Homo-oligomer: A and B are copies of this chain.
Amino acid sequence: MKRAYPILLTLGFALVFLAAATAQAKDPLPSWNAGKTKQAIIQFVEDVTKQGGPNYVPPAERIATFDNDGTLWVEYPMYTQVLFAFDRVKELAPQHPEWKTKQPFKALLEGDMKTVGASGMKGLMEIVIASHTGMTAAEFDQEVSDWLATTKQSKFNRLYTELTYQPQLELLAYLRANGFKTFIVSGGGMAFMRPISEKVYGIPPEQVVGSSVVAEFQVKDGHPVLVRQPKINFINDKAGKPVGIYEHIGRRPILAFGNSDSDMQMIEYTMAGDGLRLGLFVHHTDAEREYAYDRKSHVGTLDKALDQADAKGWIIVDMKNDWKTILPSK
C-alpha cells in the first residue's frame, strides 16, 4: 500500500482539477445568447453561492419561483388549461343536456368563441368549475394526464408539454445544480400542473403553487377519497402570488421569474427582501419562432411591468435576442 498513496493523491487532485475545469468550461445556459441578461443571471448565482462572499445565501434560503404560462411554457394564443376546460366541456356535454340552452356553454358547444369571450371572467369560471370539479382528485389527475398526453397545439403541432422553453429548462437545472429549490408559482390550477411538473420541469408536485378549488375528504364505498368541490378555494394570481408563496413555501424567494403584469407582486415581494435578489420577466418578442405580444395582449399582458422595469431593477428578457433556441428539439 505504501507506494500507492502518492499515486492515489495525484489521481485525486487530477480529478478535482479536471472537474473544476470542466465546470468552468461548460456553459450552463447554452440556449441563452451571450449578453447582459445571461451575464446578470450567472453573476447572481455565482454571488449568492460564493461561500464567505458578501452576498452568500445558505442553500436552504435559495428559493426560486417561476410563473408557468408564458414563463416556462407557451401560453399563446390561449392558456393551455382553458383549452383543456373547453375540451372537457365538449366531452361532458352529453351528460348535460341543459348546456344546450345555457350560456356560456351553449356558445362553447356551438363554437361561438366570441360569445364565450364576452361572458368574461364569470363565464370562464363557470366553464372551469364545470370541467374541473365533481370528481375525485385521482380522477382529475388522470383526466389531465390523458389530455396532455394526446392533445397537440396547432401552430407547433406538438404536445403542450413539449412547448416548454429550452432556456428555462436549462435555467431550472442550473439553479438546482447550485443548491436552489425551484418552485412553480402560477395563476393556473395546481392540480392541472402537478401531474406533469416533475417529468417536464423536474419540479415535484409539492413545489407547485397555484390556484385551487375546495377539496373535501369523503369515504366512498369504504374508500377514503378527496372530492373536488364546485367552489374556488384560492386564486393564486397578482396579489395572490405572494400570499400563495407565504402559504406554501413560508420563505421569501431570492429569485422570481414571470412574464406578465400578474407577476409584478411576486417579483416586488421577492426584490424587497434583504441581500441580493433577482426579478425577471420574459418579454415575448419573437413572432417568428414563438409569438410577439405584450401591452394589449388578451393573455400574459405585459404593460406596467415594462414601464417600471428600469426603475425597479427588473430584468426584461427579450425572447428574440436573449434566447438562442426557444423550444426543446424534437
Contacts and interface: CB of A to CB of B under 8 A. Distances in A.
Interface of A: 1, 3-4, 7-8, 11, 60, 63, 137, 181, 183, 190-191, 194, 198, 204-208, 212, 215-217, 219, 223-224, 226, 233, 239-240, 242-243, 246-251, 265, 268-269, 272
A22 to B, nearest CB: 21
Given A60-B198, A206-B248, 19 more contacts: A1-B7, A1-B11, A3-B4, A3-B7, A4-B4, A4-B7, A4-B11, A7-B8, A60-B204, A137-B246, A183-B206, A190-B247, A191-B250, A205-B249, A206-B206, A212-B247, A216-B239, A219-B268, A224-B269
Contacts of A272: 223-224
- Which residue, of A181, A212, A272, has the highest number of chain B Cβ atoms within 10 A? A272
A203 to B, nearest CB: 11
Given A60-B204, A272-B224, A194 B242 contact: no
Contacts of A248: 206, 248
B205 A250 contact: yes
A215 B60 contact: no
A305 to B, nearest CB: 14
Contacts of A223: 272
20 contacts: A3-B3, A3-B7, A4-B7, A8-B8, A8-B11, A60-B198, A183-B206, A190-B247, A190-B250, A194-B250, A206-B207, A206-B250, A206-B251, A217-B240, A217-B242, A217-B269, A223-B272, A224-B242, A224-B265, A226-B243
Contacts of A3: 3-4, 7
A216 B204 contact: no
Given A60-B204, A206-B251, A224-B269, A215 B243 contact: yes
B265 A243 contact: no
A206 B11 CA distance: 41
Nearest to A205: B250
Interface centre among A11, A191, A216, A247 (most CB of B within 10 A): A247
A265 B217 contact: yes
Nearest to A138: B252
Closest 9 CB pairs of A and B: A205-B250, A217-B239, A4-B7, A194-B250, A206-B249, A217-B242, A224-B268, A224-B269, A224-B272
A136 to B, nearest CB: 10
Nearest to A219: B268
A277 to B, nearest CB: 12
A3 B233 CA distance: 68
Contacts of A60: 198, 204
A206 to B, nearest CB: 5
Contacts of A240: 217
